[in-house]
Every structure is written in structure tokens, then in C-alpha cells.
Amino acid sequence: MASHSKAIAKAKAIGKAKAIVKDAIHLGAAPSGEAPPRGEYEIDHREGCVGFCHCQDKRAFTLSLDAFVQHLNEGRIALAR
């Protein structure tokens, strides 16, 4: 549970940062089977969620803060420096 709290604190502190989507992430609101492409994204923390913008083609999606933390802890997403 402590790692969950640390991940939430880290997510809230990111402001504008970058993340790498390393594995498939399925989006609940997306059409069946659609997932964002793997790669580097600009991310920003919003109220209760994290916004992603794909650097190459400017595709965007949003994850709830809980989903972001889960994917971060499971290794599907990594924060880039």
C-alpha cells in the first residue's frame, strides 16, 4: 500500500512530464480492441486523471489516476526524464 501512495504522490507531482507506454493499455471508453500505440507521450496531471498526448501524431487519451498508478506499478507505463 505504501508503494501505491508513493506512486500517487509521484503522479501528482509530475506536472508536465513524459511517459513511455511499454505494453498494451486498454481504454474503457475506446471502441472494442482499440489501444493507444506504444511509445513516448507528453503527460500532465489533471484533477483525478492523467492526460497523455502522443508526441509523433498528437493522438490523446486520458487515464484515471488509479488506472495510471496501476499501469505504472505493473510496468506497462514508465516515467521518462
Is 32 domain-assigned? no
pLDDT exceeds cutoff 70 at 9: no
Q: Which residues contact 46 (CB under 8 A, 6 or more apart)?
A: 62
The total domain count for the chain is 1
Q: Using the 8-state DSSP alphabet, how is residue 23 labeled?
A: S
pLDDT exceeds cutoff 60 at 4: no
Find the mean pLDDT for residues 14-22: 79
Is 58 domain-assigned? yes
Find the mean pLDDT for residues 55-64: 82
Is 33 domain-assigned? no
Find the mean pLDDT for residues 57-66: 85
Residue 44: pLDDT band (50, 70, 90) is confident
Q: The domain containing residue 42 runs over which residues?
A: 2-26+38-80
- All three cell numbers of 45: 496531471
Find the mean pLDDT for residues 44-57: 83
Q: What angle do CA 71, 74, 79 make, to 5 degrees?
A: 60
Residue 26's pLDDT is 75
Q: Within 13 Å and on the Cβ side, how many CA atoms surround 78?
A: 9
